Amino acid sequence: MGRGRAAGNWSQTSSSPPPESVYKVGIYGWRKRCLYCFILVLLVLIIVNLSLTIWILKVMDFSGAGMGKLRITNQGIRVEGHSEFLAPLYAAQIKSNTDKALFLESSKNVTIHTRNEAGSITNRLYIGSKEVESYCDSFEVVNSAGEQLFYVDGTQVTIGPEKLHIAGKEGTVFQGSIQTGAVRSNISKSLTLESPTRELKLQGPQGITLSSLVGDVTMTTLQDVVLHSTGQAIRLNSQNIHMKNLQVSSPVGSGRAYPEVYQLCVCGNNGRLFLSEPTGECQATADVCT
């Protein structure tokens, strides 16, 4: 009996399966939903970012040669169209296309600086709303042929053209002396050379010519007009020579004779003036009227 129960008990125990432990693998529940939402949002951001990048590349016209109107070449950078610089521009050369003009525009002023190797400003060109100023040691203007038109430095001013035209209504005032080959006025206006408080000198190493093709030549002075020639003669070449308002001498019968008073005579062949004795007729020697 005892064996039978023992055997029956062993059979019942051996037929039931042993207990097993169950482990779940993966993400389930709300964590899985959050992960899918995060991946979806990230995918949307990637698509939007890629779309914006493509749109920016399209709008800005990015290419291997440059960006938009900006082209990078072997000679430098070429800008097509209008450009606006919000900061200082440093360049060795700025030029336009062959068939286009170059415009520099600013709402306030345009200033151009040049510097030396030490970084100090050597020259400056300032273009303002009402003035143009140049700070330099010398200033020169030349034409297309390379001929000098204007030059100025700290000691002199040189004007290259053959003719200088000054259109001021009040004339021109020179503080010092001037050197020129000719001084002329317009055809319809008179020429006046005036020194209000000092003397006026006209000097020419080979001669001075005062000519008026239409009107008169007038010399007015407060004191004396002196015509002095150190080597040669003073010539008055005209059909009529008038000397007005000369002082008239009216001696009385009892007056005495002055030895320094002579007669003024003229040679008929060359118009030379000479003095003769106060008494008698004008007589000239052979060397006077030849």
Q: Is 32 domain-assigned? A: yes
Q: Is 102 domain-assigned? A: no
CA distance 228 to 155: 33
Identify the three-state secondary structure at position 288.
coil
Q: Is 38 domain-assigned? A: yes
Q: Is 191 domain-assigned? A: no
Q: Is 213 domain-assigned? A: no
For the chain, how many structural domains are there in total? Answer: 1
pLDDT by 10s per residue, the chain, length 290: 444 444 445 445 455 666 666 666 667 778 888 989 999 999 999 999 999 999 988 887 777 767 767 777 777 788 777 777 788 778 878 888 777 788 878 888 888 888 888 888 889 999 988 889 998 989 999 988 888 899 999 888 888 877 777 777 777 777 777 777 778 777 777 888 888 777 788 877 777 777 777 777 888 888 888 887 777 777 777 777 777 777 777 766 666 767 778 888 888 777 788 888 877 788 888 788 87
- Between strands 157-159 and 70-72, the pairing is unpaired
> Domain limits at 44?
26-72
Q: Is 90 domain-assigned? A: no
Any residues with CB less than 8 A from the CB of 66 and at least 6 apart, and which? 72, 77, 78
Q: Is 54 domain-assigned? A: yes
Q: Is 244 domain-assigned? A: no
In one-letter notation, the amino acid at residue 83 is: S
CA distance 13 to 171: 140
